[in-house]
């Protein structure tokens, strides 16, 4: 089969289109013929290399996958050959207290398909446990379905499970043009909140407002803290949806209301954040980390997608052979929503 993988860390040029043997499935696995695979920033971080994190090489990236079932192991009972499917991107042991309690993303053995230890979807075929294979949502094609799982699962976990989002609150979505940002602003509006979207261009903010954002802040030319205070009559925001990291926290923490929450899932601009802890204890604020979400959350999200209350947003579609160009689009933050590779 054809794959795109990297043998060494570096820029987009290290991604190579190669031919390798087809994967073989175990008795409890499903062989999926991949039709589409969406990009995430995790793909970039793995390709670039992360300090202290060893990625087995060569590696095939790609977490968000949709395709058709090509074969099933003899122990599989639910999935059928020829079925159109999408992939739940998290793998866990299925036996520990966290997994059995529905919080499989806290499993000690939790891994993301296409992540640090598992090859992913920049390929024609992939072998996966049957539990990770879900029917393609009604009304979606393969490209749209691939643009859905990881970002919506992460955003739901951040806002609903961990952020305890409530109607009437005000939510600031940082990086609102990214895949996870687009998911977050839709989920926040679904729960009846006022959404302030922060993005780097006026064009992206216009698109965010078309998706439901109430206000927009161009962080390239506007001070986020000042603008939030202006938009909220000095009150501030109840929840900050954050995945930018770096220097932003010094400006963000002071604009939380008393008892407010900053929930974070990433560090695109850098892993070191600084804040004044006096804000935390005097105003009883909460900083909450988030990583993916439980499989059960995805089963809650999919019906909302099927009835049109949530929708994946695809910016560009490129063939697998142009994976390097797709990485450049993400690195340069030129997209609104998801970039998807077709296989």
Q: Are residues 141 and 159 in the same domain?
A: no
**Confidence (pLDDT) at 36:** 98
Cα separation, 329 vs 335, in Å, equals 7
Q: Are residues 270 and 319 in the same domain?
A: no
Domain that holds residue 178: 152-289
Q: Are residues 158 and 272 in the same domain?
A: yes
Q: Are residues 45 and 159 in the same domain?
A: no
Comparing C-alpha atoms, which of 89, 152, 86, 149 is closest to residue 116?
89
304 within domain boundaries: no
Q: Are residues 42 and 103 in the same domain?
A: yes
89 within domain boundaries: yes
Q: Are residues 161 and 214 in the same domain?
A: yes
Cα separation, 177 vs 201, in Å, equals 9
Q: Are residues 58 and 142 in the same domain?
A: yes
Q: What is the largest CA-CA distance in the chain?
A: 62
**Confidence (pLDDT) at 266:** 81
- Number of domains the chain is built from: 2
42 within domain boundaries: yes
pTM for this one?
0.95
Q: What is the CATH number of the domain that holds 175?
A: 3.90.180.10
303 within domain boundaries: no
Q: Are residues 204 and 334 in the same domain?
A: no
Q: Are residues 11 and 65 in the same domain?
A: yes
Residue segments in the chain with a per-residue pLDDT below the cut of 70: none
Q: Are residues 64 and 23 in the same domain?
A: yes
126 within domain boundaries: yes
Q: Distance of CA 107 to CAs 17, 28, 110, 158, 233, Å?
A: 33, 20, 5, 17, 43
156 within domain boundaries: yes
Q: Are residues 95 and 142 in the same domain?
A: yes
297 within domain boundaries: no
Q: Are residues 7 and 131 in the same domain?
A: yes
């Amino acid at each position: 089969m054809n794959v795109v993988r990297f043998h060494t860390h570096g820029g987009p040029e290290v991604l190579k289109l190669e031919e390798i043997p087809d994967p073989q499935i175990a008795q409890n696995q499903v062989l999926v013929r991949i039709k589409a695979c969406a990009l995430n920033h995790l793909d970039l971080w793995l390709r670039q290399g992360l300090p202290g994190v060893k990625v087995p090489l060569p590696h095939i990236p790609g977490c968000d996958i949709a395709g058709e079932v090509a074969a099933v192991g003899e122990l599989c009972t639910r999935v059928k050959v020829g079925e159109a499917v999408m992939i739940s991107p998290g793998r866990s042991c299925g036996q520990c207290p966290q997994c059995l309690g529905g919080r499989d993303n806290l499993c000690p053995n939790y891994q993301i398909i296409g992540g640090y230890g598992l090859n992913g979807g920049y390929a024609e075929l992939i072998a996966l446990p049957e539990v990770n294979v879900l029917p393609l949502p009604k009304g979606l094609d393969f490209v749209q379905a691939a643009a859905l799982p990881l970002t919506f699962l992460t955003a739901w976990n951040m806002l609903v499970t961990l952020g305890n989002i409530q109607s009437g609150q005000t939510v600031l979505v940082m990086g609102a043009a990214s895949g996870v940002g687009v998911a977050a602003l839709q989920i926040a509006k679904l729960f009846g909140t006022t959404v302030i979207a922060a993005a780097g261009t006026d064009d992206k903010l216009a698109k965010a407002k078309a998706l439901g954002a109430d206000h927009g802040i161009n962080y390239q030319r506007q001070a986020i803290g000042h603008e939030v205070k202006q938009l909220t009559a000095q009150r501030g925001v109840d929840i900050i949806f954050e995945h930018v990291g770096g220097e932003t926290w010094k400006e963000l923490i002071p604009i939380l209301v008393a008892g407010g929450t900053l929930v974070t899932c990433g560090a695109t601009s850098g892993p070191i954040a600084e804040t004044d802890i006096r804000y935390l204890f005097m105003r009883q604020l909460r900083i909450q980390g988030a990583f993916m979400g439980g499989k059960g959350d995805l089963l809650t999200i999919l019906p909302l997608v099927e009835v049109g209350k949530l929708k994946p947003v695809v910016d560009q579609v490129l063939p697998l052979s142009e994976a390097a160009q797709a990485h450049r689009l993400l690195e340069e933050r030129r997209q609104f929503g998801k970039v998807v590779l077709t296989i």
